Amino acid sequence: MKASGTMRGAVSELKEFERQAEAEKRQIAAVRENGVGLLTPELLERYSDKTNLPAQELVLAYGRLGGTVSFTPEQLHQMYLARKRREEKFNNRIYGVKIASLLRASRPADKERAKEVRNATLYQRKGNLLFFRVSGREQPFYRVQIRLENWQEALYTATPAMRAVREVLQGRVSIECPCGRHQYWYRYLATIGKYAIDPLEHDFPKIRNPKLTGCCCKHVLRAIRELGSNRVLLVLARQMDAERKKPGFKSVERKQMFNQSDLNILISRRLHRDAMAALRKYKAAADAMEKKQTPRRSSAVLQGIDPKVVQAVGDIARLYRQLNMDSGEAIRGIADKYKLNAAQIDAILKEDRA
Binding site for Zn ion (CB under 5 A): 177, 179, 182, 217, 219
What is the rounded distance in angstroms from the CA atom of residue 309 to the CA atom of residue 336? 12
Chain CA centroid to CA 93, Å: 20
Q: Which of these, 103, 320, 125, 298, lies nearest to 218 by C-alpha position?
A: 103
**Least CB distance to Zn ion at residue 179 (A):** 3
**Least CB distance to Zn ion at residue 220 (A):** 6
Q: Which helix (H) or strand (E) holds 135?
A: strand 129-135
**Least CB distance to Zn ion at residue 23 (A):** 18
Distances (CA, A) of 317 to 72, 143, 281, 321, 346: 67, 36, 11, 6, 11
Judge whether 36 and 61 are in contact, CB under 8 Å. yes
25 or 321: CB nearest Zn ion: 25
82 or 134: CB nearest Zn ion: 134
Q: Which of these, 303, 326, 310, lies nearest to 237 by C-alpha position?
A: 326
**Least CB distance to Zn ion at residue 183 (A):** 8
212 or 334: CB nearest Zn ion: 212
Cα-flanking dihedrals φ and ψ of residue 59, to 5°? -110, 125
**Least CB distance to Zn ion at residue 194 (A):** 19
190 or 237: CB nearest Zn ion: 190
Judge whether 295 and 307 are in contact, CB under 8 Å. yes
88 or 138: CB nearest Zn ion: 138
**Least CB distance to Zn ion at residue 199 (A):** 14
Judge whether 146 and 216 are in contact, CB under 8 Å. no
14 or 220: CB nearest Zn ion: 220
Q: Which of these, 294, 292, 301, lies nearest to 350 by C-alpha position?
A: 301
State the sign of the Cα–Cα–Cα–Cα dihedral 16, 242, 198, 146.
Answer: positive
- 337: Cα within 13 Å, side-chain hemisphere: 16
131 or 320: CB nearest Zn ion: 131
182 or 318: CB nearest Zn ion: 182
**Least CB distance to Zn ion at residue 117 (A):** 9
Torsion of the alpha carbons at 71, 75, 80 and 82, rounded to the nearest 10: -130
**Least CB distance to Zn ion at residue 256 (A):** 24
Judge whether 305 and 340 are in contact, CB under 8 Å. yes
